[in-house]
Amino acid sequence: MGFFAVLNRVRLLFVQALFTLFLLLTPFSTHASALLPTLETLKLLLTDNPSVALEEIDTLLNKNTTPTYLSAAWFKLSLMKIEAHSLLGHYETAYQAIDELNQVLDKVADPDAKSKLLLSHATVLLSQNRATEAEEKLELALNTTSQADERLIADIHDRLAHINRFRANYRSALNHAEQAIQIAKRINDVPRLAGFYNQIGIVYDYMGQIEQAISFHEQSLMLQRKRNNQQGISNSLYNIGELYRDLEEFPLALSHFEQALRVDKLLGNPRHIANSYGKIGQVLYQQGEYKQAQVFILNGLALTKKMEADSDTAWQLSNLVNVQLAQGDVNEALNSANEALTLAIKSGANRTERTVRLALANVYLAQDKSEDAKEQLELLLKQPQLGTQTQSDIHKQLAAIYQQAGEFEAALAQLKQYQQAQTELKKVSDKNKAYKMALNIELVKKEQALSLLQKEQSLQQANLENLKLQRGLAIASALLLLAGLAIYFLRQRQKQKLEALEQHMAARALEQKNQLLADISHELRTPLTGLKLTIEAMQFNIEPDIDVAYKKVNSKINQLDTLISDIYQSARFDNNVMSLELRPLDINTIVKDCCSELTPVFAKKQQSLRCNLSEQVLLVEGDPQRLKQVILNLLRNSHFYTDAAGTSLIHTRLVDSYAIITVEDSSPGVATSELDKIFERLYRCEHSRSRDLGGSGLGLAISKHIVLAHHGSINANHSPLGGLLVEVKLPIKSAQNDIGHAKSPQ
């Protein structure tokens, strides 16, 4: 038995125990108001397991054959019964229950009874994509609702947001969603707020504003986890999966959709199951797994046709069209596309209609019917609030059609618009990927997985499958309830610790990233500013010596080239893609070559460079180019930051089984507190060694990466000469035990 099955079993036992105790002690007809606290528990069960909730609702409603019309509890139970049937796909039964309530509505002592029933009716209609009829019910409900029932008003705005999203009227959808959120916040209704966050997150996703979508979906998921609402968690997993699909992170998207499908199957909502099937099919298609994609799409299609949900059926068919085209079934694809277009237009689903028309254009292109394809694409371009990605696809296809027809000017115009759309998409893509996707969503995912594991471990101790709870055992139900409360509070405490840790980790990672970007921007700006000033001086003829100016320009360009090269090398080390070509070599030879190369450079500054080499051969297994880069970095660093007429010294020696390379110089030195920091990227000392002398600020950091990749160590200390001393230790070849040619450490 899986975790969710066990969890639902426990919840069912708790709820059955509560209702058993209540039914034994309280007659329904005489104490209807006493049922209200129990209704809240039943409402939670309705969200998580509508099938079980329906059984309990029927039990309560059938306890007395004569309904208590004046009871708020009876009316709420009746509305919940309609909702349960709708969630389970029993639409005819739901409509029949609505008609029965309408006949006795004037007997219900609730001023907003009519509005509540209209909202319930609209919700059932929306489950079948009958948006126009649902909107009429909601507008009427909004006009007849008293301002006192803010929860009812918020629910109406939420459904109106859904309808406008369905029609691709995103501004109106945002307006209604924001009103619903404001009300939920004002009355501190956490369950509704979680659902409303999910709604507005979907709207922002459809608008291509991934940053806002991520933010609201994360807030929704956090609230749903706190409530342990499995349907809410499933919805958030589904929508986060869609964000991953937008970013072409297909394995992560597939994982989220599969998790959502598992929960949906346990909860039994056919529309949610169909949607998850369709999304998995989309991802598999994008991964090139066409046969498997078709299986999932057909499963979803069977459910939507059974529900008579025209818009959902059209969407599933549009997915099927793409798969059929990929498999070469052009005629089948045309039939599916025409059927989908008819259903999309009939249901008024503008967003789905756009998807279908784009798929139909692809079919026409596959049949070499360019004019028919062009007609569909040009019709799409006339529709309002068209997404940038859709515009890009349309312009690209139109450019190809016009070029094939020899209309080169029109093709060029379409190609320019395609390039503009691609530029916008690139900007959005870069911003979205740079935004905290890698930080926050992965943390949420890991926390969710850890939370589920903890629940599995907590529950597997009890043999719940064999537990037989009888309605009359009030004492047993009380013990179960106490056990559930203990588990709940324990998990809440664990979740709080995990959330605090993850928030700290996310904040630290974001702070480091922002600091790195700021430092790199500063380093790039310095040579660019000098380059700009020199060029402007040449442009306005205020530079007295052109040759000197060209030398300045070349110097700044070389400085930029060095900085960019160092940033690139540092990034390659960070991502473990810098490979080493190892072979036996003598450290003394490399040090001698470096000293010969840099002696003239030191002489220009009247500095002395002394090179003392060990008399012993220091044979190591290393990459000669990388080790030479380390020594040159250390010597250049000494040259840059040592005063004129100063002294730099490099010497080698053998200590135990290590080759030691020491580079030291005269003043100025480095403060003791900064010795451990100089190997950090872009770190600058506070005082005399922080001057901008042309270095990238990455040399010592890169050197440390290279030394560590050779299984060595590097550290800094004060030099007896008055400056800085840097010591590199590398294992000699005999001590490396045949370390293989390898990449830098993983």
**Digit-coded pLDDT (tens) for 639-679:** 888 888 889 999 999 998 999 999 999 888 888 888 888 88
Q: Are residues 563 and 650 in the same domain?
A: no
Average pLDDT over residues 326-346: 88
pLDDT band at 438 (very low <50, low <70, confident <90, very high): very low
Q: Reply yes or no on whether the pLDDT at 276 is more than 80.
A: yes
At which of 544, 575, 606 does a domain end? 575
Q: How far apart are CA 739 and CA 620, in angstroms?
A: 11
Query: Percentage of residues in the chain with pLDDT exceeding 70?
Result: 74
CATH number of the structural domain spanning residue 629? 3.30.565.10
Q: Is the pLDDT of residue 318 over 80?
A: yes
CA atoms within 13 A of residue 26's CA, in its CB half-sphere = 15
Would 730 be classed as within a structural domain? yes
Q: Which amino acid is at 347?
A: S
Spatial distance between the Cα atoms of 738 and 645, rounded to a whole number of angstroms:
45
The pLDDT of residue 294 is 93
- Residue 690: the pLDDT is 40
Residue 89 lies in a domain: no
Q: Residue 707: is its pLDDT beyond 80? A: yes
Q: Decide if pLDDT at 240 tops 50.
A: yes
Q: What mean pLDDT, rounded, does the chain reach?
A: 77
Q: In the prediction, which pLDDT does 493 show?
A: 82
> pLDDT, tens digit, for every residue of 2-23?
444 444 444 444 444 444 444 4
According to the per-residue pLDDT averaged within each range, which of 135-149, 536-550, 690-704 is highest?
Answer: 135-149
SS3 722: strand
pLDDT more than 90, % of the chain: 14
Of the pLDDT bands very low, low, confident and very high (cuts 50, 70, 90), residue 725 is very high
- CATH number where 510 lies: 1.10.287.130
For residue 79, pLDDT over 70 is answered with: yes
In a domain, 60, yes or no: no
- Residue 578 — very low, low, confident or very high, per pLDDT cuts 50/70/90? low
Domain match, 601 and 681 both = yes
Average pLDDT score over residue span 376-386:
76
Indicate if 678 and 592 belong to the same structural domain. yes
User: Burial level of 56, CB count in 10 A (0-12/13-18/19+)?
Assistant: buried
Residue recorded with tokens 């959709």: 257
Q: What is the pLDDT of residue 351?
A: 75
**Amino acid 695: pLDDT:** 52
User: At residue 77, what are phi and psi to the nearest 5 degrees?
Assistant: -60, -40
Alpha-carbon dihedral angle through residues 675, 679, 683, 685, given to the nearest 10 degrees: 30
> What's residue 518's pLDDT?
60
Strands 647-655 and 608-612: parallel
The answer for 188, left when phi > 0, alpha when psi is -120 to 50, beta otherwise, is left
Q: Looking at the domain assignment, is residue 254 inside a domain?
A: no
The answer as to whether 289 is a domain residue is no
Residue 682 domain-assigned (yes or no): yes
Q: Are residues 521 and 645 in the same domain?
A: no
- Domain enclosing residue 589, as ranges: 583-735
Looking at the fold, whether 631 and 727 belong to one and the same domain comes out as yes
Candidate from 320-329, 503-512, 675-684 with smallest mean pLDDT: 503-512
**C-alpha count within 13 angstroms, C-beta hemisphere, residue 108:** 23
Q: Is the pLDDT of residue 527 over 70?
A: no
Domain match, 610 and 523 both: no
Q: What is the pLDDT of residue 377?
A: 81
- pLDDT of 713 reads 92
Q: Which of 575, 597, 620 is the last residue of a domain?
A: 575
- Mean pLDDT for the stretch of residues 729-746: 53
The pTM of the whole model exceeds 0.85: no
- The 3-class secondary structure across 219-283, one letter per residue, is HHHHHHHHHCCHHHHHHHHHHHHHHHHHCCCHHHHHHHHHHHHHHHHHHCCHHHHHHHHHHHHHH
Q: Which of 573 and 368 is assigned the larger pLDDT?
A: 368
More confident residue, 348 or 119: 119
Lowest average pLDDT, out of 56-65, 241-250, 455-464, 696-705, goes to: 455-464
Q: Kindly indicate the confidence band of residue 25, based on its pLDDT and cuts at 50, 70 and 90.
A: very low
464-497 pLDDT tens trace: 454 455 555 666 666 778 877 888 888 888 888 8
Residue 578: which region, alpha, beta or left (left: phi > 0; alpha: psi -120 to 50)? beta
Tell me the chain's radius of gyration from C-alpha atoms. Answer: 35
**Confidence (pLDDT) at 375:** 84
Residues facing residue 666 across a β-bridge: 722
Q: Given this model, what pLDDT does residue 232 score?
A: 73
Based on the domain organization, do 568 and 706 belong to the same domain? Answer: no
So what's the pLDDT on residue 502? 75
- Per-residue pLDDT, 461: 46
Looking at the structure, do residues 550 and 644 belong to the same domain, yes or no? no
The reply to whether 696 and 724 lie within a common domain is yes
pLDDT-based confidence at residue 290 (cuts at 50, 70, 90): very high
pLDDT in the model for residue 181: 93
Length of the chain: 746
Among candidate residues 352, 354, 322, 353, the one with its CA nearest the CA of residue 336 = 322
Q: What is the mean pLDDT of residues 333-354?
A: 84
Mean pLDDT of the 21-42 span: 48
Quote the tokens at residue 472.
């009359």
In a domain, 204, yes or no: no
Asked whether residue 555 falls in the same domain as residue 600, the answer is: no
Whether 417 is in a domain gets the answer no
Q: What is the mean pLDDT of residues 531-538?
A: 74
| Final residue in a domain of this structure, among 551, 575, 599 | 575
How far is 43 from 54, CA to CA, in rounded Å?
11
Give per-residue burial for 64-103: e unless 16+ CB within 10 Å, then b: eeebbeebbbbbbbbbbbbbbbbbbbbbebbbebbeebee
- Whether residues 669 and 611 share a domain: the answer is yes
Same domain? For 557 and 693 the reply is no
Where do runs of H (alpha helix) occur along 26-71? 36-48, 50-61
Show Cβ contacts of residue 377 under 8 Å, excluding neighbours closer than 6 positions: 357, 358, 361, 394, 397, 398, 401
**Are 698 and 570 contacting, i.e. CB atoms less than 8 angstroms apart?**
yes
**Residue 555 pLDDT > 80, yes or no?**
no
Count of the separate structural domains present in the chain: 2
CB neighbours of 608 closer than 8 A, spacing ≥ 6? 602, 646, 647, 648
Per-residue confidence (pLDDT) for residue 649, from 0 to 100 = 94
